[in-house]
Structure 1
Amino acid sequence: MNLIKALAQTSSMTLLSRILGYIRDAVIAHSFGAGGLTDAFFVAFRIPNLLRRLFAEGAFSQAFVPLLADVKAQHGDESAKSLIDHVSSFLTLVVFITTLLGIIFAPQVVYLSAPGFRADSVKFHTTVDLLRVTFPYIFFITLVSLSAGILNTWNRFWIPAFTPVLLNLSFILCALFLAPHLHAPIMALAWGALMGGLFQLLFQIPFLKHINMLPRFRLALHDQGVRRVLKLMAPAIIGVSVGQISLLVSTIFASFLPTGSVSWLFYADRLMEFPTGLLGAALGTILLPSLVKHHSLGHEDRYSDLLDWGLRLTLVLTIPAAAALAVAGIPLISTLFLRGAFMESDATQVYHALIAYSLGLTGLIGVKILAPGFYARQDIKTPVKIAIMVLLITQIMNALFMQFFAHAGLALATGLGACINATWLLLGLKKRGLYHAKAGWPLYLFKIAMATLIMSAILWWGQGSPSLWLTGSTLERLIRLIPLLTIAAISYFLSLWLMGIRFHHFKKEGA
């Protein structure tokens, strides 16, 4: 398996999903605006979405995929199929019961998650109605996550990467075509979420059949594999929760800052999602099965080499991306967001946050590469312990930096926290003898730095005065932005080529 080819496929599918996500947000904003009804939907959808992050895509994947890959490598497909059947049966039962309880006790769930809605009877009952439709989404998306873990283990990476496209399409189509026919148009979004989850699951079934790994119901509560997954999930849930707690605490800090601070951080974070999603999540996904197989077969040298390859690829792409976000932030922000109620002053404030966030981009993506180095050995506790310590350090930095840099200080704390997390993970891997840096790193970093400086100079000179980007139409800004970014990217990769770094240096075969 060519890892570069797999990364390109996965990243392109992720890019398509992100683009449709922006279109989805624009359609929802155009159709429903921002008010009590959209507040009700976002609260209703946030609840199953939180459960998805905690139990399905996050904790479950971290526990299940390394175990499945290990069983496949050591005992073959038949044993792997047995594990899949037992785990999927147990998971289906648990999530089905959870879904029923969520529907029955929807009023109580809304009361606990949005107590302020009780003051508005219409908003409260609308949220309850929306939640009862959206809650089954957690049932479908959990099975989608299970399917994704299986497909990734069999190196079908592009399929799970593509499936979120169907959710975004479902939202868009329901908002445009179903909403006008409903007595309560906002309910179209709830049905969009439900159908999106179902469509994603149905899409993956033929591919599971093709590899002969379509689960069948074989409930075995005392199965050793089920117990191992549950044992690994416990620390994984804590680890995923740490990220959600960090986000919540940062929001609390931002609430004490001037009006608009939360929104400025949100828009800056949306820009950061492109490189983190396209590279970080995609690279971590394709690395994990190969790392597990190398570990299972005792190929420790290949294990280390694969991590080294992932780190080199990460740095050659994230360092220029971070520089581009910092240098060309105003052109990017104005092109994407400067219209309507989004003012020039907002663009400036978002830019301040973006600069701070960009300092931590390499760390944010580095964590996605280094953490699988532990997950592949079914060691989830170590990354969780590190994440908890980094959470505490980040909140101290939040309290300190916001005094001097306001909302940008919170972004800076997040970025530096990610760098501390990545460094800690790297040192942990080296201490355990799991990673040994290959020769040539100092010269490699020097070449990346030189190429980045050349690219940054071209961006700085090419964009001209920031005021040029704060006027004119979106189309005019887009016409200027695309050539600017294209020329900058060419200058970067050409500089690397002139210094002896070639594309074929990054070709790598997976296990």
Structure 2
Amino acid sequence: MLKGFLTVGGWTMLSRILGLVRDQLLAAFMGAGPMQDAYQVAFRLPNMFRRLFGEGAFNAAFVPLFSAELTTEGDDTARTMARQVFGVLLTWLVILCVLGEIFMPAVLRVIAPGFAENGEQYELAVSLSRITFPYLVLICAAALVSGVLNGLHRFSMAAAAYLSFNVVGIAAVLFATPFFPDVAHTAAWGVTASGFVQLGLLMYAARKAGFDLTPLPPRITPKIRQLGRRMLPGLIGSGVTQINLTIDTIIATLLPAGSVSLMYFADRLNQLPLGVLGAAAGTTLLPVLTRHLASDDIDSAHAAQNRAMDYVLMLTLPSMAGLLVLGTPIMQVLFAHGSFSLLDAALSAQSLRAYALGLPAFVLAKVLAPAFFARGDTSTPVKIGFFTLMINLILNLLLMKPLAHVGPPLASSLAAILNVSILGALLIRRDALRPEPAMLRRIALMGLAASVMALALLGLNSLLILPASHVTFWLAILLSCEVPMGGLLYLLSLHLFGVLDLANALDGLKRRLNRKRGRI
């Protein structure tokens, strides 16, 4: 499982880094204002489908079903089932897309009610949303093909294909902008174009793996009914984080202009560790749990669950601490260019810190949800999801006025903490999660090591005075020293606390590198 985790995590990390480059271009060209807000709302709707399907409900329902079919019935039966699902899925998505294109003005009044007061911004958001909306057809179809590849334990291509979203987006902004009315329209067309590239790459990888996934005419079979029963509730259960973020966006459109943009760029940085660790752990854990449970190997299933929690928290806790302490200089170095000012970056960093408070909960939800899905239970996460959605909405309404652009992110973090607490408690009560005392002790020591790192960085920052001119340059120099220093201090703390043996870890890394050289 660790190999799959590292494979998916590595490709996802590269994708997130390219995503930061893409976001830097968007910030530099559009700043934080009405045009950026309109584009981000237009992108939010298909992007929510991408996260729900690619990283959520569809993947959670389809992968166990496909893996079980592959194990018990063989390749041919599993391939036929996947092609049948593909035909039904495409039919439903195309109908949904057509309806969305027709009724987009009404949809925008729901997801961006604040734009209705500004006619020009509202019309721009409608136009951009109609351009980006077909992306949901392409990316949800890509999620199915990616699920097949994950079920075949071919994680590399499934993760690598998503790089094309950012590669195409960067190329569009840099080279195609002169051919469109503005950067927002260019970026919107780049979103849809990337969907064709992603789906094409994944279809090629599936065919190369011996799985031709040409969709069959839509027909509702017993397996598809079973998939639907598992998937539809899971749209809420596994997608609580994304729906909470969408609620944040709805609330942000009612705040001063630029609030959507400030929260978007903060969320994008928060998504770097969340996407890399949460998506990687959830993607690789689900088929492993399904296989252990199918063979009635309960002890191995619990061990895999605990290892996944250990892996992600070892990296998530220092990430949270680093974002809390270094959030402002990071945002200023990354985004304070062109139309995006130093003040915009500092305000966005306030939202980032609010998101970072819930980062461990966001990631753990990705690790705990597969424990329900692998056992065929999607109703429980739905019930929890509805409850936390209600709490998130209440918190948003309470915090939006006094905290402005910080209110919705803080509400999402608090809702995520509540969500993961309930998920964990129910799994423990059902004996589907057995957190060992040794693991809990390790997690506590990881938190202590992350605190030591944060306090050291905070103390160092309080002693430094940067020159008034070329602030962004000096911040970049400072971060290039502080980030590796903080990482090294965290690793040393883990070593001193007995959580990690650095000598053994380095030996293991050397052996892995030597094996790779031997294969080359």
TM-score range, shorter chain: 0.7 to 0.9
| 1:158 equivalent in structure 2 | 156
Task: After TM superposition, give the deviation of residue 40 of structure 1 in Å.
Answer: 5.9
- CA shift in 2, pair 1:164/1:458, >3 Å: same
Following TM superposition, by how much is the alpha carbon of 1:148 offset from its aligned partner in structure 2, in angstroms?
A: 0.8
For 2:144, the equivalent position in structure 1 comes to 146
CA contact (8 A) 1:279 1:365 kept: yes
Q: Distance in 1 between matches of 2:328 and 2:180?
A: 41
Distance 1:179 1:344 in 2: 25
The residue that corresponds to 2:294 in the other structure is 296
TM-score (norm 1): 0.86
8 A Cα contact 1:86 1:219, kept in partner: yes
After superposing the two structures, state which structure 1 stretch, 437-446 or 466-475, moved more.
466-475
1:81 is matched with: 79
Match of residue 482 from structure 1: 480
1:351 Cα shift? 4.2
More deviation, 349-358/497-506: 497-506
Aligned residue number for residue 501 of structure 2: 502
Equivalence map 1:83-102=2 (5 Å)? 83-102=81-100
Q: Map 1:409-488; keep pairs closer than 5 Å.
A: 409-465=407-463, 468=466, 472-488=470-486
- 1:88-129 per-residue CA deviation (whole Å, 9 max, x = no partner) reads 1221222234444555666776677678679858974x7666
- Residue 235 of structure 1 is matched in structure 2 by 233
Aligned residues of 2:251 and 2:396 also touching (Cα < 8 A): yes
CA drift of 1:169 comes to: 1.7
Task: Name 2:518's counterpart in structure 1.
Answer: none
Instruction: Look up the match of 2:223.
Output: 225
Q: What are the superposed Cα offsets for residues 150-209 of structure 1, whole Å, 9 maximum, x if unpaired?
A: 111112222222222212222222233233245777654344223211111111123212
For the structure 1 residues 505 and 435, does the alpha-carbon distance in structure 2 shift closer, same or farther, using more than 3 Å as the test?
farther
Structure 2 residue aligned with 1:309: 307
Give secondary structure in 2 for the equivalent of 1:440: helix
- Counterpart CA distance in 2 for 1:102 and 1:358 is 33
**Contact 2:328 2:346 survives alignment (8 Å):** yes
Task: Show the 5 A alignment for 1:38-437.
Answer: 41-42=39-40, 44-53=42-51, 58-102=56-100, 124=123, 133-181=131-179, 187-219=185-217, 221-239=219-237, 242-243=240-241, 245-251=243-249, 253=251, 262-339=260-337, 342=340, 346-400=344-398, 407-437=405-435
Q: Distance in 2 between matches of 1:70 and 1:469?
A: 62
Q: 1:300, CA displacement in angstroms?
A: 0.9
Q: Could you tell me whether the CA contact under 8 Å between 2:104 and 2:130 is conserved in 1?
A: yes
TM-score, structure 2 length as denominator? 0.84
- CA spacing shift, 1:129–1:73, aligned 2, 3 Å: same
| Letter aligned with residue 376 of structure 1 | A
Mark the CA change 1:196 to 1:439 in structure 2 (over 3 Å): closer, same or farther.
same
Distance 1:360 1:177, change over 3 A: closer
Superposition deviation, residue 235 in structure 1: 0.7
Percent of aligned positions that are identical: 35
Q: Structure 2: how far apart are the matches of 1:460 and 1:400?
A: 31
Gaps of 5+ in 2: 509-520
Would the aligned equivalents of 2:64 and 2:286 in 1 still touch at CA under 8 Å? yes
| Structure 2 CA distance for partners of 1:242 and 1:318, relative to 1, 3 Å | closer
How many Å separate the matches in 1 of 2:133 and 2:415?
Answer: 33
CA contact (8 A) 1:54 1:237 kept: yes
Q: Secondary structure at the match of 1:468?
A: coil
C-alpha change, 1:491 and 1:338, in structure 2 (3 Å) is same
- Separation (CA, whole Å) in 2 of partners of 1:231 and 1:294: 23
Counterpart contact for 2:357–2:413, Cα < 8 Å: yes
| Maintained 8 Å contact 2:325/2:454 | yes
* Cα distance between partner residues in 2 of 1:454 and 1:110: 46
**For residues 56 and 252 of structure 1, what CA distance do their matches in structure 2 show?**
23
Specify whether residues 12 and 475 from structure 1 end up closer, same or farther in structure 2 by C-alpha distance, changes over 3 A only. farther
How many angstroms does 1:410 deviate by?
A: 4.0
Q: 1:382 to 1:477 in 2, by over 3 A?
A: same
C-alpha RMSD of the superposition: 3.5
Q: What's the CA shift for 1:303?
A: 0.8
State the number of aligned residues: 504
Are 2:142 and 2:198, in contact at CA under 8 Å, matched by a contact in 1? yes
Which amino acid is 2:492 matched to? L
